[in-house]
Chain A
Amino acid sequence: MKKIGSLIVCLVFVGFNVIFAQDIQISGNITSADDGIALPGVSVVVKGTSTGTATDINGDYSLTVPPDATLVFSSVGMRTQEVQVAGQTVIDVILETEVLGLEEVVVTAIGISRAERSLGYSVASISSDETLQKSEPDLLKSLEGKIPGVDIRSTSGAPGVASRITIRGNSSFLGDNQPLFVVDGIPYSNDQYNTTDQSAGGGAYGSSISTLDPNDIASVSVLKGAAAAALYGSRAKNGVVVVTTKSKNIAPSRKGLEVTVSSSVNWENIANLPEYQNTYGNGVDFLYANANGSWGPRFDARDSIETWPLMLEAFPELGDSVPWVPDPDNVEGLFKTGMVYENAVNITGGDEKSGFNLTASTLNNDGYVPHSSFDRYGLSLGGTTMLSNKFRAGGTFSYTTSKQQGGIFGNNQADDDNAASSFARALWLGRAWDYSLGYTHPVTGEPLQHNGRGQFDNPLWSWEHNKVITNMDRIVGSANLSYNLTDWLNASYQIGINTFIQRRQQVIDRLSRGYQGLGAIIDDDVWQQEIESNFLLTFSRQLGSGIDFKAILGHNVNQRTTDQQAVRGIEIVSPGIYDIDNTNSVIPFGGAYERRRIIGAFADVTVGYKNYLYLNLTGRNDWSSTLPVDKRSYFYPAASLSFLFSELLELDNNIISLGKVRVSWGKVGMDADPYSTSTTFISKATEFTGDKSVYKYAAFPFLGQAAMTTPDEGNDPELNPEFKTEFEVGTDLGFINNRIGIDFTYYSNKSTDMIYSVSVPASSGFRSQWTNVGEMTNKGVEIGLDLTPVKMANGFTWNIFGTFTQNVNEVVDVFEGEPEEGEVERTILYGLFGDPSIVAQVGQPYGVFLGEVDVRDDEGNLLINPGTGLLIEQRENQIYGDPNPDFKLGVINTFSFRGLSIRALVDYTQGGDVLCNSIVLLLGRGVTKDTEDREHSFVIPGYYGDPNTEEPLLDANGNKIPNITQVSMNDLYFGESFAINSAGEWNVYDATVVRLREIAVGYELPRKLLGKTPFGSISISLTGRNLWYFAPNIPEYTNFDPEVNGYGSDNTQGIEYSIAPSVKRYGVNLKFTF
């Protein structure tokens, strides 16, 4: 294989080999300092040239070099060494493992690589080994807990569902606050397109970053601050995730062909089934009724019940009565064991001047929810070569196609009866409901429910019939050309076109509760294209003694176009055919066309002094199409300083091996959304879309008449650009030969003039108004700790890698000018149906919950309605929840011994609130052990109050009257109390959770064993994800995982509406090279 590969490479690239006659032949062997094993694939390059090679399987190399050359030996994860040839012909080298990658090169902007030492700001790098095939098909989820300053949130256990990533908190009212993804210099969209509201019967929608194939990733750098991001322009405001693919990151010095095959199989299960009570069956107040709640009689209190009418109709053989017994496993029986299969082949090859990479991968994830799946197929190709005229040319091409299939989630009550959530009852099935009877009516085909038609679809029927099927395709092509005009001046150009196509079909089948049983199909198609062009001039010179000067001048053009169109067909004509042509009438279902352009010009100057002091200055001016003509040009600068005092003082490596202080300041400007500067009118045929209008039917054309309406959103022709400034200071310290490494950063950022469509009172005629508003700050601390407590001569190592992330966000100002007396400045970010509103309010963190609370007296005691013994909802809303966590902690312990390694990631999230509809329903339906002890009555502590005036009731002596009204547990969780029908404040729980996120046991076969095989290396690992977690403030038996979130990657966080619970996985992964 290797020979064939070499042959192909030689045939293709033979023309470019040039050997100089006077050079000498050098050979040698490279081994690892850790275990003495030969290292294949080590790069051997003549310093200052591109001449080089790589070691073969046995760690051997040979190279023809000038006799005065210096050789540079480098390999990923190893400390680079330089050796002067000085007449030697055999040079053997022992490479040491790199602990804290000071010498590592990180990709910062637009393909600009930089030595990490010169960076005055915090950048985190993750190698592909951290993310690849760790029982986690989602790239973002695989980063969880591994990068300080980065908050990643899962959504649900549905295959292919979106995750959310934010860096250093939310910095804007608008947009999704997620970082910009840049893959090989080309921005990747990470938009999440929702077809229907996720609280009201939407799908577990994915976001478009899921089209990025993790198998092709070489490395991921996370640029966290504004200073780091200035060169990417506006969108880098929330940080940048820079991904370098194997197809782009080709080392031309590698010789020959290497094939890597990796393959994994994983099993997945629902992570958190509640513990159910099986003492009481369906009913109310210990009386039997064919009701949803299990508040009925004890199972030992009667022998039988009347057969459920619809079940009897479907299965007459059941007879008139059925035994009164629980079905303890009825919920568990709904789910199955899912599978994840992932396979990838990676082929790299090349010679001294050229290289290519090919990655092909497949992923098949079959979810634990029946009929849910996510499949992805990727093909990436990249090549680079030095042309004979000294142009370096390269290109990449990648194509990914994925298909996500899943059910309908959310809350049935939240929509106009078109919602048909498969989780409406799935986790709180009546304890007496025997789910083995069947779920489809044998005659009519309708879903069978024990308590009659229409309230909800049997989940098993729903998963089979009601589906969201999303196909995403992404095609990215790029070409780059680079030329050294002189030895100190390089010109390069790259253009990339990134096209994303999403086609979605959302089906509510005939006979479902949604759409009056008629069935409906929504086709929702999105086409998105981004063209990115970058031209760079790079100056690089040594000035005088010890001064390095590097400057980049750049020009950038970017165009983004999105075209979305959806239609809805109502009434499926022929059963079982899911095509819009097979519906009775088709009406528009919204869509949007948007095109925006940006032109940018930028400069980046770095001055280095004697390897220990670096100053970096950047500046960028953008011209944006989305701002008013006179305001479309805006400039933003950044500066950073890096000082390596360990180099200056030449400290002893065994005591202080690294000492670096960095400080930076940066500013980023941002433009508006397209078309927010002028008013347009809306056809009422599509007016039903929008958060607040879920009860609006698509009524137009009405009696044949078309209609237009004024928009709900006012526009601002005078919008200014929005700015964010950030200051950060940090240090990187290494002690005792880098056995202890500390990376500490403090940052403080401020967003001003935020462009946002602020909520205005509807009496103004609008619901919201575009304008520049407010000020928001984030202050935080990021700590990375890298400890190696044990490192023994026999190769045993114990490493601890810890991350700490704390971000404090505050909305400082919402509207321009001073607030009027008594005015609370706030805007509504998202209005959920009913309660709460997600708001930005002065003095509060972004995204707090403002909603219903119950009345209390001036001492904080609850006031009790004397008529019911229950609570009284207060007229005025109050803030009752904050989804932002206090801090996050991640600890990775790695034990390695020769080829064996054991690695476990435990992470901990302190605080943050989750509004959890699932807990409300588990408690309110009386199905878990939390509510089992119910055969006595309760008195809610508090004083009687007047529900009209909200004042305490007083006795003849003017004293408050303590509540003595007894209520049942059924009332405690179903009345105006603490669960169903309660004020929103009681539906919020503290989301503190500790979790065994990831565990992996890996073994790499000793290379000596492989000597006579075609394999270069073989490794096998066992991995597990999310195998255990503990959430102390969640009602014990609900086992609810507070990490799930109903809104995917949207800004609305901490809200859960009956979605698929999280998943745990375990599997086997195999990787070999030859």
Chain B
Amino acid sequence: MKKIKIFLLATIVLLAGCEDFLDINRSPNDATEPDIDKLLPGIMYDIGDDFSIGYAKLGYACAVYSHQMVTRQPEYDDYNINGYSYAVDTYWEDLYAGPAEDLKLLIRMGETEIDGEPGNLIYAGIGKILKAYLFSMMVDLWADIPYTEANTEGITKPVFDDGEQIYAALFTLIDEGIANIQNTDAENIRVPGDDDLIYGGDTEQWVRLANTLKLKMYNQVRLVSMYSQGAVDQLLADPDNNLIGPGDDFMLPFGTSVAPENRHPAFVSEYGGSQISNYISPWFFEILSGYNANIHTGITDPRIPYYWCNQLAGGDPENPPEYKDGDFNTIMFGSVGPNRDHAGRSSFTMMGIYPCGGTFDDGVQVGPLGSLDGTGAAPQRFITYADRLYIEAEMMQVGRVAGDARAKLEEAIYASFEQVDMVVDMVGPNQDVPVLAGSGMDTAYVTAVLAEYDAGDAEKKLEIVLTQKWISQWGNSMDQYTDYRRTGYPVRFDANSNGGSQYQGPDGTAPIPTQETRAFPLSFPYDKDEVILNNNCTQKIVSQSPVFWDE
């Protein structure tokens, strides 16, 4: 029996000594608290990546609906966007679970008091401005969305807020952000530097951006009651000090590294990819080529070789083409022709150096263009100096702001040309790319457009302002989709009547049959998983669900 006792005793000892033994439930490889400067670059990158025109991203879908790009993916073509379209399904979730959640943490960490004094408020202020930009863009895209209860601990099924109320809250948030940045009482032990990928920690640039963002938002609501003339007048009292100027562009730069992948997402998907996904819209092509009977007729845009790059250089495409004009080769929106789905990695026209850091078209490239035919270091533009000028021109044109709309338009178009040169400079191309500004081509173009402007009535003038903005923004397509829904400009391609296209199809054959069987979406559908999981979310009929400013 003694032996038995020893065994029992041993068992009890084993059982008793186990408390420390079990205290191992903390991962040794994961951090429990991030540094504030490690949050900012991730937020900026995610917004830029998700808004870009990389394949199936949010900007991609918007570029299709603003008719700068064509896709043959049935979940976007023919206005058939659904809650399960990849762009919606993925980036709704990415934005809320990514930058929106990280911004909440960044603002909270920035506002945390240090020794009883206000904390790192510059970070908090930048966070609020970025949050206002992010949510204003999400309202523009989805109309009513979760805001007040979104990203809130303890709430797993946030309610959906009215877009107008969100906008009102965002105007306040921007003001708070400016106040945070300018708060001289703040400890600001940590201040942003290189981790601020956009402005390198320059607080004055952030304040100018914050004001420009407000101006952009006021312009977007100019047809509804929320519009505040007083606020706009205040912003425009000293525009060159209050608003972003040359060198203040709000944009995310990209780099050239392959691993980690620092290149522009659209460059990676197109130049690095094995299939073409971003086809240049014939509508865009025809307007820039002067083929469109309604606008810029006979005016060839000198930015064309910067905007897209043909791969044919006089050769034949791999397959019977759908839409071909010389070396330009693409497919049509809403096409039901037999040649829409053919492979053409080596022969379709690709996005050029300006939208994604690809190839400048000097007429000699032969496809397939690949990842060595460009650097991919084009920035993702959000709000640029040129954009600011177009906003001012629009407001002058419609009489919201006093001033010479024509002169502002002229200024804006010149800024757009300089913007192309600026992007080329950032891309650092491995080929010779001529400078546009001051080349004479810019002046000739501006003169021709202004002549058309002068000849038009007020409506035509507004159309020209917005069409020029649309051309300038190529690659930053989310605002274009908003501008069309707000103003009806630029006039979009109508696949049911072939939109007044002058083009009769390749080699003079009959026009390519196109159709749109669905109505234009007035906002994007909700993410299918949000519908599945959040009973506050009902899927909408997108052709009947406008954003509040679109009434």
Contacts and interface: CB of A to CB of B under 8 A. Distances in A.
B343 interface: yes
A698 B541 contact: no
A708 interface: yes
Nearest to A833: B86
A700 B259 CA distance: 9
B24 A595 contact: yes
Interface stretch (A153-161, A467-475, A510-518): A510-518
Nearest to A851: B84
20 contacts: A284-B341, A289-B320, A289-B339, A516-B274, A537-B8, A555-B14, A557-B14, A584-B258, A675-B27, A678-B26, A692-B90, A693-B94, A702-B41, A707-B41, A708-B38, A708-B42, A709-B42, A710-B97, A760-B157, A949-B544
A632 B519 CA distance: 58
Interface stretch (A321-329, A734-742, A869-877): A869-877
B186 to A, nearest CB: 23
B492 interface: no
Interface in A809-859: 820, 822-824, 826-828, 831, 833-835, 837, 839, 850-852
A453 interface: yes
Given A417-B273, A453-B345, A571 B74 contact: no
A701 B260 contact: yes
Contact of A599 (B21, B80, B368): B21
B258 A570 contact: yes
Contacts of A824: 532, 535
Interface in A524-568: 535, 537, 553, 555, 557, 568
B238 interface: no
A626 B25 contact: yes
B294 interface: no
Contact of A516 (B8, B56, B262, B371): B371
Given A452-B345, A710-B105, A763-B530, A289 B259 contact: no
B156 interface: yes
A763 B525 CA distance: 15
A792 interface: no
Interface string A258-297: 0000000000000000000000000011010111100000
B273 to A, nearest CB: 4
B421 to A, nearest CB: 22
Given A452-B343, A875-B82, A877-B532, A702 B338 contact: no
Given A597-B21, A763-B534, A877-B532, A697 B268 contact: yes
Q: Which among A518, A592, A681, A828 has the greatest number of chain B C-beta atoms within 10 A?
A: A681
A762 interface: yes
B194 interface: yes
Contacts of A800: none
A417 B266 CA distance: 12
B457 interface: no
A761 B92 CA distance: 10
B533 interface: yes
Contacts of B517: 865-868, 947
Given A681-B32, A875-B541, 6 more contacts: A454-B275, A516-B271, A537-B7, A594-B27, A597-B21, A693-B94
Contact of A454 (B45, B56, B368): B368
Given A453-B274, A587-B260, A705 B4 contact: no
Interface stretch (B120-128, B145-153, B226-234): B145-153
A489 B3 CA distance: 11
Contacts of A947: 80, 517-518
Nearest to A568: B259
B380 to A, nearest CB: 12
Nearest to A835: B84
B249 interface: no
B97 A762 contact: yes
Interface in B6-38: 7-8, 10-11, 14-15, 18, 21-35, 38
B86 A759 contact: no
Interface of A: 284-285, 287, 289-292, 309, 416-417, 451-455, 485, 489, 491, 513-514, 516-518, 535, 537, 553, 555, 557, 568-571, 584-587, 591-597, 599, 601, 623-627, 629, 632, 674-675, 677-682, 684-685, 692-693, 695-710, 712, 759-767, 769, 820, 822-824, 826-828, 831, 833-835, 837, 839, 850-852, 865-868, 873, 875-877, 947-950, 974, 976, 981
B339 A284 contact: yes
B401 interface: no
A828 B529 contact: yes
B510 interface: no
Q: Chain B binding site: helix, strand, loop or mixed by DSSP?
A: loop
A513 B371 CA distance: 13
B49 interface: yes
B259 A698 contact: yes
A325 to B, nearest CB: 20
A873 B27 contact: no
A35 to B, nearest CB: 50
B96 A762 contact: yes
B539 interface: yes
B356 interface: no
Nearest to A682: B30
A765 B100 contact: yes
Contacts of B194: 704-705
B84 A593 contact: no
Nearest to B2: A485
A763 B150 contact: yes
B533 A826 contact: yes
B245 interface: no
A703 B42 contact: no
Contacts of B80: 873, 947
Nearest to A598: B22
B158 A452 contact: no
B538 to A, nearest CB: 9
B82 to A, nearest CB: 6
B331 to A, nearest CB: 13
A525 to B, nearest CB: 15
A957 B10 CA distance: 90
Contacts of A516: 258, 268, 271-274, 370-371
Contacts of B74: 976, 981
B264 to A, nearest CB: 11
Contact of B532 (A292, A489, A767, A826): A826
Contacts of B188: none
A472 to B, nearest CB: 24
A707 B383 CA distance: 24
Given A769-B156, A981-B74, A455 B345 contact: yes
B168 interface: no
A599 B94 CA distance: 41
Nearest to A413: B275
Contact of A290 (B151, B271, B319): B319
Contacts of B150: 763-765
Contacts of B275: 417, 454-455
B319 A763 contact: no
B268 to A, nearest CB: 7
Contact of B29 (A593, A764, A974): A593
Contact of A702 (B14, B260, B318, B543): B260
Nearest to A451: B343
B96 A763 contact: yes
B342 A290 contact: yes
Contacts of A837: 528-529, 532
Given A700-B45, A705-B41, A765-B100, A513 B274 contact: yes
B62 to A, nearest CB: 17
Contact of A767 (B93, B253, B320): B93
Contacts of A764: 96, 150-152, 155-158
Given A516-B370, A675-B27, A769-B156, A828 B22 contact: no
A324 to B, nearest CB: 16
Contacts of A514: 274
A699 B259 contact: no
B480 interface: no
